[in-house]
A and B are shown apart, each in its own frame.
Chain A
Amino acid sequence: MAAYQSSMSQPADNPWLHRFALLTALATLGLIGIGGLVTSHGAGMAVPDWPNSYGYNMFTFPVSMWIGGILYEHSHRLAGSVVGFLTLVLALWLNGRPAAKWLRWGGLVVLALGLMAATSPRVKLDNVLFLCGTGVAGFGISFFWPHHAPLSPRLARFGLLALVLVVVQGLLGGLRVTAMKDQIGIFHGTLAQCFFVLICALALCTSRWWARAWATPASGIVPLSVRQFLLVTTLLILGQLALGAAMRHQHAGLAVPDFPMAHGRIWPATDAAALERYNAVRLDTRDFKAITAGQIHLHMAHRCGAVLVLCAVLACFLRLKAALTAGHPLLRLASGWLALICAQAGLGIWTVLSNKAADIATLHVIVGAAVLVTGALLTLLAGTVFGERPVAPSAAMGPAARAT
């Protein structure tokens, strides 16, 4: 019991860790937004090389060259580096003393890579200096930080998972450019949403509110069927976001340019003559790829998905309202969720009607991420602090403790 209490009290004793996790979450949302700008402006390939930018190390790429689509793509790369760095620090912080060893060895590996790169005439000096500098910094810092005990094994593992995800996400982003595959972009866009959920969950679990909620008896239990419904709805939203990512990367955002009709019909024709007609009158300065039947089907699937998700979120809200008393924290959060999903549907319609204006399309991406996170956190809360706890009522069994 004492171990549980210690485990649960630590996050509350580390308000800076919580603030740092919040900062990482905010930075991730910003990164998703900049990623949205990249695809909204069709600038994903504006910097043809990776990890360099036009042959420069990305941190020494001259600002004077940040023009047109390069501005969005390069900013996305830099923001990705910031989020990667924040996630590394967060993972080290959550893992404590054992992670100092990884930092030390990681620093040495990076330093060795830098020294190896120095022997190659193909690698520029700025890259060598960057690798060597990073390696030395990591190695040196490991002797001073982190030296605290891990906060909880579960949080430590999730911190490590976040680190792995951010590395994979960075590699996917790079491969999207070098392999020139739209499909990789779809995974990149979807994994970004999953990563955001994880970081937000870490921010929640390191908060004082979370610790307090575990230390007191739950003020309203969410029935199992509602919890399951919340989970299914959140997964539906993730599926809808994946469809959205597929639309963005398959350039299908304007495959159906009207609303509420679709090419003037309830369900658009996709025969060859109809496609020829659609493409003949498609006159846009961005001269999009020709509309295909696949793009239309994808677009219509996203519209149908939107209706489904909207109904599912509404149903979640109504079921929570029926199960919980007025003013319950989950009900308040669910109200916000419902407002967000309505705003998201409106933004989706506006995206089409505005001929996919970049700022509107980007806002659609950002609010989409917020909708997913809200659903995921609701599901997490309903399944943990507002769920049926195995040992009542001492509240010693926090999620972190359960993992020990």
Chain B
Amino acid sequence: MKSLILTLTTVAFVAGSAAAGDVTGKISLKGTPAPEKEIPMDPACGKLHDGKKVTTRFYVTDGAGGLGDCVVYLEGAKGGAATKEVVIDQKGCEYLPYISSAQVNQPIRVLNSDPVLHNVHPTPTVDGNKEQNKAQLPKGAPLDFTFAKAEKFLRFKCDVHPWMFSYVSIFDHGFHAVSAKDGSYKITGVPDGKYKLVVEHRKGGKVEKEIEVKGGAKADFTIEAK
């Protein structure tokens, strides 16, 4: 009897696993965006880059047509487990990464690897997400933030250094990802079924596609430079 239960459980687990897969694909950029702007850093921050020019990151590309920093998600999906925490570092007076995604109430941990102080100031616009403003001394202790409501591109800023921004899209499910510099993305563990897959870029806008996941799916997108 015991072995029968064990067998059934194993079968159910395997069957369950087979009913989910990864949604992958690539996002390409069409057209040529306006050139990025050079950031006028102050001397303390400038010397952290050894005199190299630092620019804005509105369109992050791999030079071969891939477009990074797109938020990809399944609209209206339910469930999905969050990873432990999302980490954003302040390095060279820049937020790294510039774009990330998280689940509601998932900790967003902000580090300061810089030898200068910053203030970490998330400025949500959705009711229920609280604006906060915390000081973080050089190499100071990490700061954790959580947000209770879904919100696209929730802005984190540093008011000490007015060029420092990071955007976190908060979802009420776990099926989201951010495209890498080459435009590739991967949403893992998506149960089989029909979904609307959405890609959003802060400046390039939004594109979407109906997809069917059967043990996985692949969908490529193109975003036009504005």
Contact = CB atoms under 8 A, between A and B. Distances in A.
Contacts of B203: 279-280, 283
Contact of B56 (A46, A54, A283): A283
B220 interface: no
B6 interface: no
Contacts of B36: 283
A286 B162 contact: yes
Contacts of B76: none
Contact of B131 (A44, A180, A287, A289): A180
Interface residues of A, number: 30
A48 interface: yes
Interface in A233-289: 276-277, 279-281, 283-287, 289
Interface in B151-204: 155, 157, 159-163, 165, 203-204
Q: How large is the interface on B (under 10, 10 to 19, 20 to 34, 35 or more residues)?
A: 20 to 34
B132 to A, nearest CB: 8
A43 B161 CA distance: 9
B58 interface: yes
A180 B226 CA distance: 33
Nearest to A68: B160
B133 interface: yes
Interface in B128-159: 131, 133-135, 137, 155, 157, 159
A283 B160 contact: no
Interface in A13-55: 41-49, 54-55
Contact of B44 (A44, A55, A67, A279): A67
A44 B159 contact: yes
Contacts of A54: 117, 135, 137
B16 interface: no
Contacts of B117: 54, 65, 67
A69 interface: yes
Nearest to B36: A283
Contacts of A177: 133
B121 A281 contact: no
Interface in A332-355: none
Contacts of B161: 68-69
A45 B119 contact: yes
A69 B163 contact: no
Nearest to A292: B125
A283 B159 contact: no
B42 interface: yes
Nearest to B44: A67
Interface in A45-79: 45-49, 54-55, 65, 67-70, 73
A45 B156 CA distance: 13
B37 to A, nearest CB: 5
Contacts of B155: 289
A49 B117 CA distance: 14
B39 A46 contact: no
A276 B204 CA distance: 10
A45 B159 contact: yes
B37 A67 contact: no
A48 B205 contact: no
Given A67-B116, A68-B162, A287 B205 contact: no
A285 B119 contact: no
Name, among A67, A68, A277, A287, the residue most crowded by chain B CB atoms within 10 Å (CB to CB): A68
Nearest to B157: A287
Interface in B193-219: 203-205
Interface of A: 41-49, 54-55, 65, 67-70, 73, 177, 180, 276-277, 279-281, 283-287, 289
Interface of B: 34, 36-40, 42, 44, 56, 58, 116-117, 119, 121, 123, 131, 133-135, 137, 155, 157, 159-163, 165, 203-205, 226
The 3 closest A-B pairs by CB, nearest first: A280-B226, A46-B159, A68-B160
18 contacts: A41-B162, A43-B160, A47-B119, A48-B133, A54-B137, A55-B135, A67-B44, A70-B160, A177-B133, A277-B226, A280-B205, A281-B34, A283-B34, A283-B56, A284-B56, A285-B38, A285-B162, A287-B157
Given A47-B119, A48-B134, 6 more contacts: A45-B121, A67-B42, A68-B161, A70-B160, A177-B133, A283-B58
